[in-house]
Amino acid sequence: MSREPMTSPRPLRIAVPKGALYPDSYAMLSAAGLDMTPLDDQGRHLIFSTDRGSMPAEYIIVRPTDAPVFVANGGADVAISGEDSIVEADCDVVELVDLGFGACRFVVAEAESSAGAADAAYRRRGALRVATKYPNVTRAYYDRIGVQADIIKLYGNIELAPLSGMADRIVDITATGTTLRENHLRVVDEVFSSTARFIANPSAARIDVRVRNLAAALEAAVSAASAAGKE
């Protein structure tokens, strides 16, 4: 009885975030042994393939907020994503490696000129009005501290919300706090800190040895980068 010839598994599909996380993501994946040169001339292509480097791979360039969604729903096997995007997406993914770059903080802030006004409004209304780009993160934070919050979803210019009186406070991401200071906002609490993570589809993490091998290679690259930074 003849057997069907064995076929090689398809290349591992990796979602790479565009924007601020892209340069470090490229460098870290390259340090882990992947051939990243197909991404050097992207043009209008959406998927980039290579059979060089430590393993055959396919890359897709995605918005950082979409990376967890692609992984959770099978559009990619693995991805690099900020912890902020992972928490906000609230998808079924597995975090395998803290890559250490892209550090930022989720903070609660209010206008410097109205210190104490938010607490007074809460006592009066029984709820805070909070503007944010991250409603899931914000809702989880206020649920955790036991404060009722009416969340206002915005897509930009979050700093305007308390300055215009539309909201009592904001929840937003900051790396240095410069934008907040320039807009006369002060931080009143920190929600959590975020760095870039290597994530995987739970099924891929469980059954695909390439995912585990890449996670190990990334861990080694992170350790090497950390050691070099201390020299």
Residue 1 lies in a domain: no
Per-residue confidence at 22, pLDDT binned at 50, 70, 90?
very high
pLDDT single digits (tens) 143-189: 999 999 999 999 988 999 999 999 999 999 998 889 999 999 999 99
Q: Which amino acid is at 28?
A: M
Domain shared by 161 and 208, yes or no = no
Q: Are residues 16 and 99 in the same domain?
A: yes
Torsion of CA 224, 225, 227, 231, to 10 degrees: 130
Residue 2, pLDDT above cutoff 70: no
Contact 13, 60 (CB under 8 A): yes
Q: Let me know whether 131 and 166 are in one domain.
A: yes
Let me know if residue 81 belongs to a domain: yes
pLDDT digits (tens, 9 = 90+) for 176-227: 889 999 999 999 999 999 999 999 999 999 999 999 999 999 999 999 988 8
173 lies in some domain: yes
From the CA atom positions of the chain, what is the Rg in Å?
Answer: 21
Residue 223: inside a domain, yes or no? yes
- 134 and 182 co-located in one domain: yes
Q: Are residues 97 and 200 in the same domain?
A: yes
Per the structure, the count of domains in the chain is: 2
2 belongs to a structural domain: no
| Burial readout 70-105 (b: 16 or more C-beta within 10 A, e: otherwise) | bbbeebbbbbbbbbbbbbbbebebbebbebbbbebb
Q: Tell me, what DSSP letter sits at residue 8?
A: P
Residue 210: domain span: 12-103+195-230
In a domain? residue 3: no
Residues 122, 166 within the same domain: yes
CA distance 3 to 32: 36
pLDDT band per the 50, 70, 90 thresholds, residue 42 = confident
User: How does pLDDT run across 87-134, given as a tens digit for each residue?
Assistant: 999 999 999 999 999 999 999 999 999 888 999 999 999 999 999 999
Compute the distance between CA of residue 46 and CA of residue 23 in angstroms, rounded to an integer. Answer: 18
Structure tokens at 218: 């990334």
pLDDT of residue 44: 84
User: For residue 74, is it within any domain?
Assistant: yes
Compute the distance between CA of residue 220 and CA of residue 31 in angstroms, rounded to an integer.
9
Claim to verify: residue 187 and residue 203 sit in the same structural domain: no
Q: Are residues 32 and 81 in the same domain?
A: yes
Give the contacts of 110 (CB within 8 A, at least 6 positions apart).
117, 118, 162, 168, 169, 170, 185, 186, 188
The CATH number of whichever domain residue 157 belongs to comes to 3.40.190.10
At residue 231 the predicted structure's pLDDT band, cuts being 50, 70 and 90, is low
| Burial environment of residue 129 by CB neighbours within 10 A (0 to 12, 13 to 18, 19 or more) | buried
Are both 202 and 95 inside the same structural domain?
A: yes
Rounded to 5°, the CA angle 182-184-188 comes to: 115
Average the pLDDT over 70-83 and give the result.
97
Do 39 and 50 reside in the same domain of the chain? Answer: yes
